[in-house]
Amino acid sequence: MDMTLQDPLVGQVLDGRYRVDARIAVGGMATVYRALDTRLDRILALKVMHPTLAADGAFVERFIREAKSVARLAHPNVVQVFDQGTDGSYVYLAMEYIAGCTLRDVLRERGALQPRASLDILEPVLAALGAAHRAGFVHRDMKPENVLIGDDGRVKVADFGLVRSVDTVTSTTGAVLGTVSYLAPEQIESGTADPRVDVYACGVVLYEMLTGQKPHDGDSPAAVLYKHLHEDVPPPSATVPRTAYELDELVAAATARTPEIRPHDAVALLAYVRHARASLSAEQLDAMPPQALTAQHDIAEDRTSVIPRSLTVPRPLPVNEDEPDGSVHRTSRLAVPPAPPGRRPSRPGRGLITLVVAVLVVFGVGAGVWYINSGQFTRVPPLLAKTEAQARDRLKQAGLDVKQVRHAYSDTVQRGTVISTDPAAGKRIRSNDSVTLTISDGPETVKVPGLEGRTLAAARALLRKDGLQPGMVTRAFSGSVPRGSVISTDPQTGTTRRAGSAVALVVSKGSPVDVPDVTGEDLDSAKQDLEDAGLRVRIAAQAVNSEFDKGAIAEQTPAGDSQAAEGDTVTLTLSKGPEMVEVPDVVGAGVDDAKQSLEQAGFKVKEDRGLLGLFGDTVKDQSVNGGDTAPKGSTITITIR
């Protein structure tokens, strides 16, 4: 049943300017409509506060004041605020309209996402929040419903309607504004709202993307709030065992129950995220979650609400079963098929396009009003991920023709399906006009060239020439490949890889050489032995005390009897001779005390008991008199009687 028909605002013009065309969604605090700005002739999203809240003068005043502040926050990942106003009992906010879907739509249909897609979404979210935090604002209601994914792949943060200045506390008496599943402990306890509450919510969102589930659930909102206060968010790997340790650490850092332990704002968390991404391999980033991990969605817990501070009376929040949340600007609910196996972006920046293609693949009949026949004009229908035949059929239904078919490589769009159209989807063009289609040839692939025997510099240059990237270099001994030349590659020669992929190189250290042990030798002899073995010699700047005579070799690196490559350098450290230490006087002392004194001074101890000292316990003599010096480490003999 179309509830839009029963909405009294649909068809009206607010403030003599905004014509309300359709209801998009209903949330706990407001209803969002698609509207037309009749002055500027542009589509926008109109967020109208619920009448019960609009009757609260203090709430309305704060809403308007804070909306004006956010309107000054210009960032490509923030939904832009154009205008605010009132019309009778209606208090509204005019905002940028995003055609696409929300992260909640994606999670509901796909469940857990791959780590690469999760980070591709989280990074622009944190960039948006970081701009707000550095401008002195806190969002306070971050959740998947407020993450919009446009049909062009852009990610935007919506619903800064609860935004507050940093270090402020909610003024709603005895209540907290927010969504129970994403509230930080300090929000629940005191209503405190600094940037770290957004950091906490983003950690929960990341957990949900990686697992398809919320970290805390319960029979009531009060039960969920209790868990936020008393239980840590579990590591994602407890639900998805293949999750990398670095992602567990990222979630733990963002959702620490003690605010002081979390990154101090979204900018700091973004640095954590980028560091974690850099430490993950392609296999870890593209690990497929188990298909069974479908999203667990409780609409009541996802609503922005005025939540009682008292947790003693668990009461469910009101649920609107018709639409998920009023903070969402989207064209329709989407049925999203599971991501095709083996498809993944080769670079972080393309992960979102893969996600969007998967979300938009079923856009068609039932995907909302995409073109309007106004006699001479119509709109280009969305054709992303459709086959050429399907695209031609859709265009024909829209009264359009195919002007030209082009082909291009794509890492993210399946071979044989539409990458883009010219004009783009939703553009207004004349009826019976033509549209150019660009069809995917799949990812551009190249074969790993034969690099064995080439110098490292030549191998790197050839990889780049062929559209690949030089990867990690490791070195190994080889009796057949000259020093500095490539022994092998990973992947092997002839393997087909996507353009831009990295190829690891194993480079020869040359034939192994046995390093002779020259410690104790004089310098000339040591140098001769090492050079005869094909090694170079370097003398350390500082000499050290050792058991060897002054000028002899005290130490060498690499050590004797190890292996090195021909031409490697061995560092020799000369001896300053043994360190001379004063010998303690232990005559007359007990044996145990005498041994302890001598050993603490750096000497070894030998006992001489003879026949007369078998049962004695007193030192009668020592081999070096007390007060004299002896080489440290040398042996002192004590005579016992």
Alpha carbon distance 117, 68 (integer Å): 33
Query: Tokens in use for 532?
Result: 């005869």
Ordered DSSP codes for 212-267? SS-S---SSHHHHHHHHHHSPPPPGGGTSTT--HHHHHHHHHHT-SSGGGS-SSHH
Residue 389, H or E segment: helix 388-397
Note the pLDDT of residue 161.
52
Residue reference for tokens 């402990």? 185
Asked if the peptide bond before residue 8 counts as cis, ω within 30 degrees of 0, the response is no
Query: Smallest Cα–Cα separation from 140: which of 188, 190, 180, 195?
Result: 195
Residue from 141, 151, 194, 529 carrying the catalytic annotation:
141
Q: Is there a contact between 339 and 361 (Cβ–Cβ < 8 Å)?
A: no
Low-confidence spans in the chain with pLDDT less than 70: 1-5, 65-66, 69, 161-178, 291-375, 411-412, 612-613
Alpha carbon distance 192, 564 (integer Å): 62
* Region for residue 107 given its phi and psi (left: phi exceeds 0; alpha: psi -120 to 50; beta: otherwise): alpha
Domains detected in the chain: 1-97 (3.30.200.20), 99-312 (1.10.510.10), 361-440 (3.30.10.20), 445-508 (3.30.10.20), 512-574 (3.30.10.20), 580-640 (3.30.10.20)
Classify burial at 278, counting beta carbons within 10 Å of its beta carbon; exposed 0-12, middle 13-18, buried 19 or more. Answer: exposed
Note the pLDDT of residue 252.
92
194 catalytically annotated:
no
Note the pLDDT of residue 321.
33
Q: Is there a contact between 29 and 41 (Cβ–Cβ < 8 Å)?
A: no
Note the pLDDT of residue 52.
78
Note the pLDDT of residue 441.
86
Query: Smallest Cα–Cα separation from 354: which of 411, 293, 271, 425?
Result: 411
Neighbours of 638 (CB within 10 A): 22
Alpha carbon distance 151, 96 (integer Å): 14
Strands of 481-603 (E only): list them: 486-490, 496-498, 502-508, 512-514, 536-539, 553-557, 563-565, 569-574, 580-582
Note the pLDDT of residue 315.
33
Neighbours of 130 (CB within 10 A): 21
Measuring CA to CA, how many Å separate 466 from each of 448, 461, 494, 503? 8, 9, 12, 12
Residue 439, H or E segment: strand 434-440
Q: Is there a contact between 456 and 486 (Cβ–Cβ < 8 Å)?
A: yes
Note the pLDDT of residue 547.
86
Note the pLDDT of residue 328.
33
The whole-model pTM stands at: 0.48
